Structure 1
C-alpha cells in the first residue's frame, strides 16, 4: 500500500515543478570574427520582442561551416565579445564551445546546456539566410525538440521553413564581420561598426592586418 504522506509529498513536488516559471534564454552563436554592432542590435531586438531574460553570446571553437583560415584564435574572439557586451546586464558570454574545443555542433552544445540548466527554455537565434540550411544541421530532428529556433527576417529571404521557427523583425543593419576585416586590411575606419572596446582590442593586438 502506498504511503499517503509519500504520495502527497510526490504530488507537491510535481506541482511545484510545473508552477515554476522557466527562464527564457536566447542563444546567439557564431564565429564573431569580429563581433559588431549588428550582433548587439539583433540580440537586443530579439530579447525585447520575445521577452527573454538573457541572451548568451556563444563564440564557436571550430565552426563546421566556415573556412578555418578566416577565423582568428577563439580566445581573442571571446575577449572581443566580452568587450562588446560588458555594459548590458541582459547579455552574457557563454564559453561552452570554446572550452570543449573541436568542431562546434549546436546539438552537442545544447544537450550540455540543457543538462546544466534544465530550468531554462532556450531560443536559438539565427539569421533568415541560415533558416534554409536547417535541414543540413547536425542531428536537426533531435535538436528541434530541445530548442526553439528564432529566425531574424532578412530582405530577399523567404519566411518559411519545414521546421518551427519564430520570426522576428530587426532593423536592417548592413554590416558584417567580413566587411570589417576588409576595412581593417585596407586601413579604413571601423568606428561605429564595432564597440569602442572591440576597436581598441583590434588595434592593440594588430588583428586582421594579414
Structure 2
C-alpha cells in the first residue's frame, strides 16, 4: 500500500510555490508520492480563460520532471464537465484500491470544506491535509491533518501578470516552465 498525496489545481502556470508545498507536505506527512492533477474545468473558477489544457499539462510535466516522488495524473483531463474532487477520488480509488489517498488543500480552502460537492462522501475516502498560512484560522469541524509550509508568496495570477508586463519570472517558476511559456508565447497578451 502506498500513501499518495493528491494536489489538484489549474496550474496556469505551475510555479515554485506549488513545488515547495507539494514537497513539504510529502515530507511532513510521510507520503510515498505526490500526484499533480490539473483540473479540466474547476467548478469554482469560471471567471476567466485558462491556457489550453495541453499547455497546462506540458507545463506540469516540465515543472515536476526532476523530482522522482512527483507524478502527473491526467484523470480530470479524461472527463468532460466540472472537475469535482469526489468524482476524481472515486475513480482513483477504483483504479488503485490498495492505496491510501490524501488531498492537499490551501489554508484558504479549509473554511470552504462544508460547501464542497458531496463532502461527507469525500471524507470517507480520503484524508485532507491543510497547509497552515498566516491570516487564515485553519479551524474546521472536519478531521484534517495540517502541514507547516514555508511562506512563498507567489501565485499563478502574479506570474501571468508579470509575463504580460514583460517582467522577469526568475526564481518564481522552474526554468523548464519558463522556457515552455516563452516557446509557446503564453500569457503575453
Indicate whether the TM-score tops 0.5: yes
For the Cα contact (< 8 Å) 1:124–1:149, is it kept in 2?
yes
What is the CA distance between 1:209 and its match in structure 2?
1.4
Higher percent of residues as helix: 1
How many residues align structurally? 189
Does 2:53 align with 1:54? no
Partner residue in 2 for 1:66 = 45
Partner-residue secondary structure (3-state), 1:142: helix
Partner of 1:4: none
Cross-structure match for 2:55: 76
1:126 to 105, 108, 114: 105
Check if 1:160 corresponds to 2:139: yes
Q: Which digits, 9 at most, give the CA deviation of each residue in 1:94-153, with x for residues without a partner?
A: 000011132100000000000000111001000001100111111001001101000000
**Which residue matches 2:177?**
198
Q: Secondary structure at the match of 1:166?
A: strand
- Unaligned 5+ residue runs, structure 2? none
Counterpart in the other structure of 1:176: 155
Contact in 2 for aligned 1:62/1:68 (Cα 8 Å): no
In the alignment, which residue of structure 2 is the partner of 1:150?
Answer: 129
Report the counterpart of residue 117 of structure 2 in structure 1.
138
Question: How far, CA to CA, are the matches of 2:88 and 2:171 in structure 1?
Answer: 32
Residue 68 of structure 1 and its aligned partner are, at CA, apart by: 5.0
In the alignment, is the contact (CA less than 8 A) between 2:111 and 2:138 conserved in 1? no
CA contact (8 A) 1:80 1:198 kept: yes
State the structure with bigger RCO (CA 8 A, min sep 6), 1 or 2: 2
Distance across 2 between alignment mates of 1:120 and 1:68: 35
Matched, 1:23 2:6: no
Cα RMSD, aligned residues only: 0.8
Counterpart CA distance in 2 for 1:31 and 1:117 is: 23
Return the TM-score normalized by structure 1: 0.88
Residue deviations 1:159-180 (CA, integer Å, cap 9, x gap): 2111111010000000000100
TM-score, normalization by structure 2: 0.98
- Large movers: runs of 4+ above 2 Å: 67-70
